[in-house]
């Protein structure tokens, strides 16, 4: 049977991995897809590297735009990254009737609505399993495996760099800066780690997950994003003493008022499986109304784990290549004309529990003043710890865990507490989730 011809745009880490996996497992992949899949042309500015990887098995050029208009190419795999040239290439490929496979989470989070609409008009597929959590098949699980469920909430460790940094801070007592430097030395963090440590990468992925889970358009601009750069080693230590671990979580949740869409450091009970995911690994906890909580764990990055997802998408597209577009799985799991316009909640309206740490003067009556403010705002305390002052110091740390309350109440409480003359500096606030399947 005639092979499916693939045009590969970018043969860096993931592209090289995809070429290797496809070559190594060619027989198995052909048996699964029903016909051979071969990368016939590769576009990369570094043609010498591309030729070294392909070993003459594919034509190598430096013009990606020539690939997306090539009549011999059936599927375009976009692994260039970014949201400018990549967007132009993907839209041009679609306009020329090509199916597209991409690992570009930023592109989909920012421009997915436009891209999927164009693909729908042209009757082609855009597959993007590799855009979220590397080799973990979370997109397929949400879009197909859990399609009988009403998804209630999702909480995921979806950025390996930040998870490694937090693991190092907890295990070795490192500061954030020292742990970041370690991650950069090991190649887990970029020279400019902003997208990772500020939570932007996780927010891109969460935007895609939320769209598939709840049948809503991509709305990256409405995601609340808070990174780990300001996280202090003492908060990780105090959380541990209280029986919690701190992870950077992407959380999206269906509540009566709308959809929560938020990325931030979160305390999780240490006994939860997801709290024990360490290093650069990813894990995603999904709660469906019928199936209950399910956990997906694996490598969230790397050449071959991500290539695994890229090649799986190639197999899916190949299987459905000749199918009537109306009978294919919709890009965002729900039929395009059935997407919901439910609103994304602002963070001030989100309800969760909180960890609060403040430094106060070590004198009588201080605690009463603070608890009175919390009571006035109907914030109840679940646990409270007052640390012993160090020798020669006249101030102490107080750590409080609250019951669930709305964030705007906590904001108001923090403002009033910080105004007390006995309070030194700002109140440190972290969110807390039980993730117990409720």
pLDDT of 322: 60
Fold of 4-135+303-338: Rossmann fold (3.40.50)
What is the rounded CA–CA span in Å between residue 126 and residue 277? 31
pLDDT of 74: 96
Closest CA to 215 of 63, 122, 332: 332
pLDDT of 90: 98
What is the rounded CA–CA span in Å between residue 337 and residue 97? 22
pLDDT in tens, the chain (438 residues): 789 999 999 999 999 999 999 999 999 999 999 999 999 999 999 999 999 999 999 999 999 999 999 999 999 999 999 999 999 999 999 999 999 999 999 999 999 999 999 999 999 999 999 999 989 999 999 999 999 999 999 999 999 999 999 999 999 999 999 999 999 999 899 899 999 999 999 999 999 999 999 999 999 999 999 999 999 999 999 999 999 999 999 999 999 999 999 999 999 999 999 999 999 999 999 999 999 999 999 998 889 999 999 999 999 999 887 666 666 666 665 667 767 789 999 999 999 999 999 999 988 889 999 999 999 999 999 999 988 877 667 889 999 999 999 999 999 999 999 999 999 999 999 999 999 866
Q: What is the CATH number of domain 348-432?
A: 3.30.70.260
Closest CA to 252 of 277, 287, 200: 287
> Where do you find CATH 3.30.70.260 in the chain?
348-432
Q: What is the DSSP letter of 331?
A: T
Lookup: tokens for 328:
């294919």
Would you call 188 helix, strand, or coil by DSSP?
coil
pLDDT of 338: 63
160 class by beta-carbon count within 10 Å (0-12 exposed, 13-18 middle, 19+ buried): buried
Q: Is 205 a catalytic residue?
A: yes
> Where do you find CATH 3.40.50.720 in the chain?
4-135+303-338
Tell me how crowded residue 51 is: count the other CB atoms within 10 A of its CB. 16
Catalytic residue, chosen from 205, 247, 253, 287, is 205
> Where do you find CATH 3.30.360.10 in the chain?
138-299
- pTM reported for the whole predicted model: 0.94
Name the CATH superfamily, with its identifier, for domain 138-299: Dihydrodipicolinate Reductase; domain 2 (3.30.360.10)
pLDDT of 391: 67
Would you call 205 helix, strand, or coil by DSSP?
helix
- How distant, in Å, are the alpha carbons of 86, 401, 419 from that of 10? 10, 48, 54
pLDDT of 333: 55
């Amino acid at each position: 049977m005639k092979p499916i011809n693939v045009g590969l745009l970018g043969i860096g880490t993931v592209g090289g991995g995809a070429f290797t996996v496809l070559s190594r497992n060619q027989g198995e992949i052909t048996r699964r897809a029903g016909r051979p899949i071969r990368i016939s042309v590769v576009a990369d500015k570094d043609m010498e590297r591309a030729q070294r990887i392909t070993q003459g098995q594919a034509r190598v050029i430096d013009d990606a735009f020539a690939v997306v208009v090539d009549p011999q190419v059936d599927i375009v795999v976009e692994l260039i990254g970014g949201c400018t040239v990549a967007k132009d290439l993907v839209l041009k490929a679609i306009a020329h009737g090509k199916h597209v496979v991409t690992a570009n989470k930023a592109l989909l989070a920012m421009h997915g609505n436009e891209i999927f609409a164009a693909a729908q008009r042209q009757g082609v597929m855009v597959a993007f399993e590799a855009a979220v959590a590397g080799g973990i098949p979370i997109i397929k699980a949400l879009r197909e495996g859990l399609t009988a469920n009403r998804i209630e909430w999702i909480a995921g460790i979806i950025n390996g760099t930040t998870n490694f940094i937090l693991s190092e801070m907890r295990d070795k007592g490192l500061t954030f800066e020292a742990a970041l430097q370690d991650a950069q030395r090991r190649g887990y963090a970029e020279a400019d780690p902003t997208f990772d440590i500020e939570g932007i990468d996780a927010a891109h992925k969460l935007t895609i997950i939320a769209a598939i889970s709840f049948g809503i358009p991509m709305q990256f601009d409405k995601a609340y994003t808070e990174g780990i750069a300001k996280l202090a080693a003492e908060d990780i230590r105090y959380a541990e003493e209280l029986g919690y671990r701190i992870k950077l979580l992407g959380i999206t949740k269906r509540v009566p008022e709308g959809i929560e869409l938020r990325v931030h450091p979160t305390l999780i009970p240490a006994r939860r499986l997801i709290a024990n995911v360490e290093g650069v690994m990813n894990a995603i906890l999904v709660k469906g109304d019928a199936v209950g909580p399910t956990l997906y764990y694996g490598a969230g990055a790397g050449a071959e784990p991500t290539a695994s997802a890229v090649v799986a998408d190639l197999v899916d597209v190949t299987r459905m290549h000749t199918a009537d577009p109306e009978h294919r799985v919709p890009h965002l799991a729900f039929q395009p004309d059935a997407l919901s316009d439910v609103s994304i909640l602002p963070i001030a309206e989100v309800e969760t529990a909180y960890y609060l740490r403040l430094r106060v003067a070590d004198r009588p009556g201080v605690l009463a003043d603070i608890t009175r403010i919390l009571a006035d705002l109907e914030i109840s305390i679940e646990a409270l710890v007052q640390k012993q002052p160090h020798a020669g110091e006249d101030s102490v740390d107080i750590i409080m865990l609250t019951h669930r309350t709305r964030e705007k109440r906590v904001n108001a409480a923090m403002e009033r507490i910080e105004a007390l003359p006995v309070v030194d500096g700002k109140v440190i606030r972290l969110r807390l989730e039980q993730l117990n399947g409720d």
